[in-house]
Amino acid sequence: MTGRNRENYNKNYIDYVNSFSPPTKHFKNCLHAFGVGGLICMLGQFFRFFLENVFSLSGDELAAGTSILLIFLGTLLTGLGVYDRIGRHAGAGSIVPITGFANSVCSPAMEFKTEGLVYGLAAKMFVVAGPIIVYGVLAGTLVGLIYLFL
């Protein structure tokens, strides 16, 4: 709280603004998230079924194959400019599945390509998704170490 005009700072104002703010449509949002998220997972289940029966994959290979197919789909839809439109309506339904992870890697790569292939595309690729890798590795290693010493 510095600066002369901060004496105008008024907590009442924030409450007052909040009373005007348009309401979030909780039910509609959640329904969309449920539907789209569920469909993406069902598609994942279909890929699993497909890989299992057609390419007779199993175990880790099956899981990896499913992820790769979904990630390909996520980046393709991002490239075609479709994923952000899905995301606008689906909210968490398109953020939380692995396709959302693919979208968050692909979209900055496309966006910052204009600044070059090294400092643009490559350097900015993980600007949104980087934290997932960072905290994933930290938490995963922690779990591994705990199991090692238990």
Partner 1 sequence: MNTIFFHHQPRLVATGSIAGPKESEGIVGNFADKTLKDDTFGESTYEKAECKMLTFAVRKAIENAGLTERDIDLFVSGDLLNQIISASFTARDFDFPFLGVYSACSTMSESFALAGAMIDAGYFKRIVAATGSHFSSAERQYRYPLELGCTRPPQAQWTVTGAGGAVIAAKETTSSPIALTSATFGRVVDYGITDVNNMGAAMAPAASDTVVKHLQDTGKKASDYDLIVTGDLGALGSRLMKDLTWEKGVDIQNNHVDCGEIVYNVIEDEFQGGSGAGCSALVFNSYIVEKMRRGELNRVLFVATGALLSTVSSGQGESIPCIAHAVSFERV
Partner 2 sequence: MFAEYFSLILEFVKAFAVGGLICAIAQVVINFTDLTAGKILVTFMLIGVVLQGLGLYQPLVDFAGAGATVPISGFGYLLANGAIRGAERGFFGAVTGALSSASAGVSAAVIFSFLMAMLFRSKSKKS
Nearer to partner 2 by C-beta: 14 or 143? 143
Residues 103 and 126: beta-carbon distance below 8 Å: no
Contacts of 107 (CB under 8 A, 6+ apart): 78, 83, 84, 128
If we measure between CA atoms, which residue out of 138, 131, 124 comes closest to residue 101?
131
Is residue 6 a contact residue for partner 1 (CB under 8 A)? yes
Q: Which amino acid is at 40?
A: I
Quick one: tokens of 47? 């890929």
Nearer to partner 2 by C-beta: 11 or 128? 128
Nearer to partner 1 by C-beta: 66 or 94? 94
Residue numbers of the site for partner 1 (CB under 8 A)? Answer: 3, 5-6, 8-11, 13-14, 16-17, 20-24, 78-79, 81, 83-88, 90-91, 94-95, 100, 103-104, 106-108, 110-112, 114, 127-128
